[in-house]
Amino acid sequence: MFKTINKVSQILKSLEVMKYLTFLLLKFLLFNFVMAETIPTKSKILKNASHCTKDSQAQVCKELVFEIEKLQLLVFDQNRFKCQSSLLGLQSAIIEAHFLKNISNERISFTIPYVIKNC
């Protein structure tokens, strides 16, 4: 009788471990899937950056700073440092144009070709 109870207890513990591992696996897979969808493309960033050259106070410029941040962290992980540096330059130009209203938008236009070339 005790052997049967012991075996049932072991099976239940194994099921709990399996349930926990399944949960972790699903969480990992879903997190990576969601992260993959949130990384902006280079063409989207360039399109939005060209909008910022026309109107640096647009909401799209503020959101673009965060999108560039995601992409530059991704290219850093891939050891693509020229691309990362170009993205950081574009990001800082957008920040200057958006938050320091006395800065001209010419710097955004200046950095776009470097993003095209290096990314």
* pLDDT 10s digits, 38-83: 677 888 888 888 888 777 777 888 889 889 998 988 899 899 999 9
> Does residue 110 surpass a pLDDT of 80?
yes
Of 96, 93, 98, which Cα lies nearest the Cα of 109?
Answer: 93
* pLDDT 10s digits, 12-39: 566 565 555 555 555 555 555 544 456 7
Q: How far is Cα 72 from Cα 51, in angstroms, rounded to an integer?
A: 20
Helix, strand, coil tally for the chain in percent (to 5): 85, 0, 15
CA distances from 51 to 5, 15, 45, 72, 116 (A): 70, 55, 10, 20, 16
pLDDT for the residue 5: 63
The whole model's pTM is what?
A: 0.64
> Does residue 8 surpass a pLDDT of 60?
no
3-state class of 93 per DSSP?
Answer: helix
pLDDT for the residue 54: 79
Which residues have a Cβ under 8 Å from the Cβ of 43 and sit 6 or more positions away?
none
